[in-house]
Amino acid sequence: MTIRAKNALIVEDDLLISLLEKKLLTHLGFHVTKTVTKGRLAVEAVKDHKPDFIIMDICLADDVNGLAAAKEIWEISEVPIVFVSGNIDLYRSDINSQFKGHAFVSKPFSKRILLEAIDRACSPVPYKEHVA
């Protein structure tokens, strides 16, 4: 794996999961520039912090879910996104049709699975669908 990205933004509304994601990313050698709980805050965080990639929960306790936030983000940035959900099957068709070139993982996930997803999302070469 040759990931050049270093700075991550975490978008997760579950505090325990966001702490776990931050710990995993830190152990993998990444720097978490910001953690936000809402889709609207994610868009602002991308403007302010310019992350190299985003770990994005799909189901957020907000009127803007992770998929809608991603669409807004990609209007201002081409930042790679790793979509995360405990209900990935509910969003598989949306992700496959609208978010090609980005990775997604199912909760719970391991450090290895997260690293592989970050590698896929940050890779300039298109990849085949993979759900961990």
User: Rounded to two decimals, what is the model's pTM?
Assistant: 0.85
129 inside domain: no
pLDDT at site 103: 83
63 inside domain: yes
Task: Give long-range contacts, CB 8 A cutoff, 24+ apart: 123-126.
Answer: 126/100, 126/101
Residue 100 binned pLDDT confidence (cut-offs 50, 70, 90):
low
131 inside domain: no
73 inside domain: yes
88 inside domain: yes
Give 120: exposed, middle or buried? Use CB within 10 Å, 0-12, 13-18, 19+: buried
Q: Is the pLDDT score of 124 beyond 80?
A: no
80 inside domain: yes
Neighbouring residues of 88: CB distance < 8 A, sequence distance ≥ 6: 58, 95, 104, 105, 106, 131
127 inside domain: no
How many structural domains is the chain composed of? 1
1 inside domain: no
Q: Range of 15's domain? A: 7-122
